[in-house]
Amino acid sequence: MPAQDEYALLPQRSSPNHSSDDEYSKEYSYVPKSGYYLSTTSLITILVLLVTSSSIALISTLTATHLSSRLQSSDLSISSLPRPNQFIGLENIPADAPERETVFRFPDLIGRISRTQPTHVFNSDEDKGRVEITPEDSMILQWQTPQDGVEDCAIAGVFPIEAERGGKPFMAAGNTHAIEVWNVTAEEIISPSSLNYQTRPSRGILLGTLNVTEDMRDKTHWFVCPEGRIQTVELTCPTENCAVEFLMNFQLPMLTIDLLQREKTSTSLYSRSTNNASCGV
């Protein structure tokens, strides 16, 4: 609390006359000697600061209480959520589960075309099943996939050694380690009697390559082949130094380039009359 004001008598002015009260009041007045005093503005400022501080403290308290309540509510909500298994189910697969069965499908069409003979149709009996791949000649193979739910495919080749070919001729010379397999655009079944270099279907993307050498089993990468659709490929040499020639038929032992399909379920698929496991592709 501020100290009370102290007052002191001012010294008397030197004047010869002190006859009236008015003169006396004029001669003497009182002023504060020492101490503290507050103006109205200072009091208002202090009150504003006090109110502001109280408001800030109240808001902080309410905010902290609200956040604490929200966090407790959030913790309760998270704890009540279901907690699914973090694994994808591989632990449920039997240790001795068999691999998905694969099946070889022999081509419905084996057609040769030659850019040196663009109008010639290779459709005689001696050309039937004959595979000849050179820088000038390529092969068109076609399949119609059955309606069996299988849509994983690859182009696979089996080229056994001479002692295991059953007398079938086979020749591979030059750079035959990467025979190119092209997807071909063909919406309909190709007739062997009309297929030549001029009427050949157009090429699409490169599906992969095959190592066409003796004692080799090879395949391209897997690709999608919708069920019940036509699948057509063209086999070409990758370089000028390349030559492949052999006879392909449905008889054992296998010497072939087939469509390899991989089943998606345990349902068994029909296949050519051979043990698929022995093919090793």
104 within 8 A of 272, measured Cβ to Cβ: yes
Q: Which residues of 125-138 are buried (b: 16+ CB within 10 A; e: fewer)?
A: eeeebbbbbbbebb
Residue 101's pLDDT is: 79
pLDDT score of 77 = 65
Q: What is the pLDDT along the chain (281 residues), one digit of tens a residue?
A: 444 555 455 555 554 444 444 444 444 444 444 444 556 777 788 777 887 877 787 777 767 776 666 656 555 566 677 777 777 776 676 666 566 678 899 999 999 999 999 999 998 777 888 999 999 999 999 999 888 778 889 999 999 999 999 999 999 999 999 999 999 988 889 999 999 999 999 999 999 999 999 999 999 999 998 888 999 999 999 999 999 999 998 889 999 999 999 876 443 333 343 333 334 46
With CA atoms as reference, report the closest residue to 254 among 123, 122, 120, 164. 164
Q: What angle do CA 67, 69, 73 make, to 5 degrees?
A: 115
pLDDT, tens digit (0-9, with 9 covering 90-100), for 168-198:
999 999 999 999 999 998 888 999 999 999 9
First vs last Cα of the chain: how many Å apart? 104
- Retrieve residue 16's tokens: 């010869």
Query: What pLDDT score does 66 carry?
Result: 66
User: What is the CB neighbour count within 10 angstroms for residue 215?
Assistant: 10
pLDDT of residue 180: 98
Contact between 246 and 167 (Cβ < 8 Å): no
Q: What is the DSSP string of 9-69?
A: EPPPP--S----HHHHHHH--EEE-S-----HHHHHHHHHHHHHHHHHHHHHHHHHHHHHH
Of 41, 84, 106, 129, the closest CA to residue 271 belongs to: 106
CB 190: neighbour CB atoms within 10 A? 20
What does the pLDDT read at residue 215?
94
pLDDT of the residue at 221 = 94
Give the C-alpha separation, 243 to 264, whole Å.
37
Q: For the chain, where do the domains classified as CATH 2.60.120 start and end?
A: 102-269
| Dihedral sign from CA coordinates of 105, 203, 130, 208 | negative
As given in the structure block, the two tokens for residue 251 are 């008889």
Which of the 8 DSSP states describes residue 187?
Answer: S
CA 59 to chain centre: 49
Q: How far apart are CA 155 and CA 219, in angstroms?
A: 5
State the amino acid at position 89 in one-letter form: G
Please tell me the pTM assigned to this model. Answer: 0.61
Which of 151, 155, 143 is CA-nearest to residue 235?
A: 155
3-state secondary structure (DSSP) of residue 139: strand
> Do 142 and 178 touch, CB atoms closer than 8 A?
no
Q: Which fold would CATH assign to domain 102-269? A: Jelly Rolls (2.60.120)
CA dihedral 245, 251, 254, 255 (to 10 degrees): 0
Neighbours of 255 (CB within 10 A): 21
Query: What is the Cα 37 distance to its own chain's centre?
Result: 80
